């Protein structure tokens, strides 16, 4: 299955602006670890957190709305949804996945092995 991974990216839990890059990086790492686990089960993860690298390489600041629109475009191609943790964007994506009626997973143990 193509499985979309949703979870926090923006460092809203950062102690201050100097802590924000570290928190964003931790959020990316967490999503990547789930992506690896999904691959081990034979699935094809989509990790929207990888746009982190587009974000840091861009010479402009793209608005949050552009990122969520981009993520939701990719969600349309996924056959399942993995919810890491709540965030403004992840919760919007969760609602969209529910409306689409695709399987939603909350832990790696819930995800079946690929056939």
Give the pTM.
Answer: 0.91
Least confident range from 44-48, 64-68, 94-98: namely 64-68
Mean predicted lDDT score pLDDT of the chain: 92
> Which residues in 26-41 are b (16+ Cβ under 10 Å) and which e?
ebbebbbebbeebeee
CATH architecture of 2-109: 3-Layer(aba) Sandwich (3.40)
Helix, strand, coil % in the chain, rounded to nearest 5? 50, 10, 35
Q: Is the pLDDT of residue 109 over 90?
A: yes
Q: Is the pLDDT of residue 15 over 70?
A: no
The conformation of residue 110, written as its DSSP 8-state character, comes to: G
């Amino acid at each position: 299955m193509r499985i979309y991974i949703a979870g926090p990216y923006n460092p809203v839990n950062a102690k201050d602006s100097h802590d924000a890059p570290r928190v964003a990086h931790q959020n990316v790492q967490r999503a990547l670890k789930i992506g690896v686990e999904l691959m081990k089960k034979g699935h094809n993860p989509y990790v929207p957190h990888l746009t982190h690298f587009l974000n840091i390489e861009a010479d402009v600041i793209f608005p949050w709305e552009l990122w969520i629109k981009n993520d939701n475009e990719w969600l349309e191609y996924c056959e399942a949804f993995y919810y890491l943790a709540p965030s403004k964007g992840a919760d919007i994506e969760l609602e969209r996945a529910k409306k689409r009626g695709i399987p939603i997973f909350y832990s790696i143990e819930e995800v079946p092995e690929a056939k």
